[in-house]
Structure 1
């Protein structure tokens, strides 16, 4: 069957006269998981006594059960008796379903010429795919070029509309506040770390990308970003976020990106209102730091327990790890939400990308660690020299670690040998420390080994599991 193309003749009759609407204030509390709290103010004409009010232009992804309505002009004069959300989307399937047993007009091939068409009156018998019609007293389930509907059924619209039954003893025009949750309105975090030529210092900037797939435009919205791991049932957290933000007036609220803590989460405020159209992504800067000092390490982590089947040397790569401390004295001091970090290095006028990694959230005062890949010119060969079982649950092993450095200058590396159970280093050719219960760590300054002769570290251990 050819693709069904639906042509609609819509005779629209509103429930109430058209409402003059103006968005006076719009606030979004956006989560990274795509669920957001929307708060907006609208000036609306209201009926005297009991009547109906229609609120159009709501997001397609609204969660109707979360809607809260109150009058800011006269909170005690307006009572909302009930709410009805006409939320069934306007689609071909919905139109056919609403017209089962009713008459429509079909545009059909005329069967005489290749491009000929004819229009027939028909009754919809079934809305399932493919649809079935009664045409000229006969059942028809063939190709349909278009369906022409006589009217738009009540409750179908391109976007949801809210119908309120209210009782109003106040003014005929009031400022109404709406507060509700909507889905598919989210944000992501991206960081840019630009290092100097030596890689000792860097400029860190944070950019927020807002994504709107909610089915509605948001114009000049004040935006707060809620960061942290929330459960799906996060309405209490969003409600507290809105209550916290509402205590600040417009100028004060947007002076600083850090909006403070909400429950066990953090709130960030964008400094300027944002216009975000439906199906649009918009990027805006959250912060930019001063030059921060970086620490670079080359780290190798490996299990010290041999398998007993090692015959050839084991190749071990070294991770390149950059770290910095998140403090105000270094130009930061803002809780950093999780996001994607891209690192660049500048050399004169040239800027080159050197790695990309995921930055987990970093509290104020904490260290951030960035694993940006593997070292190219440094590697380790691991040779198991001994492995034996010395008791029911006790073992002994020995390793020879051969370190190669193809660079022109000496490099500091950190080798972390992971040891299980109650272990002891029996002998070692280099100094070692115990940074944690299951790790023996060697910190080595490795000179260039371009002559092919590696730096060798040996050690033996015993352990009881």
Structure 2
């Protein structure tokens, strides 16, 4: 039998972080029997697709260790504890359990110790069964045209898609393709479920309440948000969902469910694995309405607790509301030209006259909102994908207008979502002058930016300009007001009239 054994030698109390001399919980403080599940995720919202993983699983392509996340399972149950030395077996653990993370505690007698632990996973399968029948009598029926040939004898080998059978008239090699094999009674030592065995030392015996904790691979979650803009693009409704995936090889029925959001560090085993262990104390609690999660700060992360029990079935994905829908909160639409996007400041004065950005372009379209309580929000938002829709008044249906990713976003921060590029607003950037005085260590550059609006309404547009030639610069003159965004960027905000245009001209001087 395949087995992983770990001699624990009186360290159960260390696994639980307490000694037998520590004050024990009062009877009323004991947890009730049941299952609690905490799921950690390191999934990249841009590339992680639960349905793709489910399809691979259905096709038999097990890559569970590659699932970007893991679960921590806590099971409280009553068991018949042997008096003295004995063995306890649990057969409902996840198939992808990490046995080194198992912690066992007798809640009725903390002096109970685990002497040895083993994880047995030699499960029943066709290949395992045939391996166990080597040297034993079998009957094989192999198809030939419309009938069968029968081979009855001693099974010598079952590899490479073939059976080797010793019969009275000699040795026969039979193709396993389409063959039917009849075996005798099931040999001992085979299991139908992964099993944890503990060798226990206990002084009292009888029915005891116990708690088992372990980590398992094959579990993760992802947040998805749906944003619906109103007719004026100034307000929106939002709903948020969690997609929970379970490929751990076990179902968790009537479970208490928690999700952890944040970058939790965990030592990665070679060849895969993800997630981490965390410690800390809870702080502020944010209560969700019925159907959503309760959120609270936990150490440097955020913990989302479902205020009801749920069934988490194996080999499945399910959607659960992250928080109740939020209606009619304020959003702002932005059109932003960034002709020089991505340009950083040169490490020395860039005096090359030929280096210039002059092009036509379209503005990127964004919407942003403040994740604040007075806007009906104010709940930390886990990283995820935001899909944006708008109602078509012609038939009152939702039409998709763009999507973007957000990082983990605390409360009271701005959420900005890129939707695409404008169709009816265009711009053109032209350099109209360049002056260089090397002796005086000075140069200047003049630009003309024309923004044209072919829509039937006035459009507010922001033009970002980056002073990338050198660190010491000054805007000598400008035809429109601007704001300095950082050490090398200014923003011109202009209103472009319907079917009209707006021209921005400015001169920047560099010195060194």
Q: Of residues 498, 504, 508 in structure 2, which corresponds to 1:448?
A: 498
**1:150 shift after superposition:** 4.0
Write out aligned runs for 1:200-279 (5 A). 200-233=234-267, 238=277, 240=279, 257-279=293-315
For residues 170 and 73 of structure 1, the distance between their equivalents in structure 2, rounded to whole angstroms, comes to: 10
Write out aligned runs for 1:399-418 (5 A). 399-418=447-466
Equivalent residue, structure 1, for 2:489: 439
State how many pairs are aligned.
Answer: 431
For residues 237 and 142 of structure 1, the distance between their equivalents in structure 2, rounded to whole angstroms, comes to: 47
Native 8 Å contact 2:95 2:194 kept in 1 = yes
Residue 210 of structure 2 aligns to a residue whose secondary structure is strand
Structure in which a larger fraction of residues adopt strand: 1
Equivalent residue, structure 2, for 1:105: 138
Q: Of residues 64, 68, 78 in structure 1, which corresponds to 2:103?
A: 68
RMSD: 3.5
Native 8 Å contact 1:237 1:263 kept in 2 = no
Q: Taking structure 2 as the reference length, what is the TM-score of the superposition?
A: 0.75
1:49 aligns with 2:84: yes
Write out aligned runs for 1:352-371 (5 A). 352-371=399-418
Q: Of residues 149, 170, 176 in structure 2, which corresponds to 1:117?
A: 149
Native 8 Å contact 1:197 1:346 kept in 2 = yes
For residues 114 and 378 of structure 1, the distance between their equivalents in structure 2, rounded to whole angstroms, comes to: 73
Equivalent residue, structure 1, for 2:37: 28
Native 8 Å contact 1:108 1:143 kept in 2 = no
Native 8 Å contact 2:478 2:507 kept in 1 = yes
Equivalent residue, structure 2, for 1:378: 425
For residues 231 and 131 of structure 1, the distance between their equivalents in structure 2, rounded to whole angstroms, comes to: 47
CA distance change for structure 1 residues 138 and 385 in 2, over 3 Å: closer, same or farther? farther
Q: Of residues 193, 199, 206 in structure 2, which corresponds to 1:172?
A: 206
For residues 355 and 193 of structure 1, the distance between their equivalents in structure 2, rounded to whole angstroms, comes to: 10
Residue 33 of structure 2 aligns to a residue whose secondary structure is strand
Equivalent residue, structure 1, for 2:72: 37
Residue 279 of structure 2 aligns to a residue whose secondary structure is helix
**1:326 shift after superposition:** 1.4
Q: Deviations 1:111-163 (Å, cap 9, x if unpaired)?
A: 5x444232333434464x34562433436364442444445565543431111
Native 8 Å contact 1:196 1:347 kept in 2 = no
Native 8 Å contact 2:264 2:275 kept in 1 = no
CA distance change for structure 1 residues 424 and 159 in 2, over 3 Å: closer, same or farther? farther
**1:25 shift after superposition:** 1.3
Native 8 Å contact 1:37 1:238 kept in 2 = no
CA distance change for structure 1 residues 429 and 39 in 2, over 3 Å: closer, same or farther? same
Native 8 Å contact 2:151 2:165 kept in 1 = no
For residues 396 and 132 of structure 1, the distance between their equivalents in structure 2, rounded to whole angstroms, comes to: 85
For residues 306 and 38 of structure 2, the distance between their equivalents in structure 1, rounded to whole angstroms, comes to: 11
Native 8 Å contact 2:157 2:163 kept in 1 = yes
**1:266 shift after superposition:** 0.6
For residues 275 and 250 of structure 2, the distance between their equivalents in structure 1, rounded to whole angstroms, comes to: 24
**1:228 shift after superposition:** 0.8
**1:353 shift after superposition:** 2.5
CA distance change for structure 1 residues 365 and 44 in 2, over 3 Å: closer, same or farther? same
Q: Any unmatched runs of 5+ in structure 1?
A: 1-22
Native 8 Å contact 1:86 1:161 kept in 2 = yes
Compare 35-44 and 298-307 and name the one that shifted more.
298-307
Equivalent residue, structure 1, for 2:366: 321
Q: Taking structure 1 as the reference length, what is the TM-score of the superposition?
A: 0.81
1:458 aligns with 2:505: yes
Q: Any unmatched runs of 5+ in structure 2?
A: 1-31, 43-68, 269-273, 344-349
For residues 278 and 494 of structure 2, the distance between their equivalents in structure 1, rounded to whole angstroms, comes to: 53
For residues 184 and 278 of structure 2, the distance between their equivalents in structure 1, rounded to whole angstroms, comes to: 44
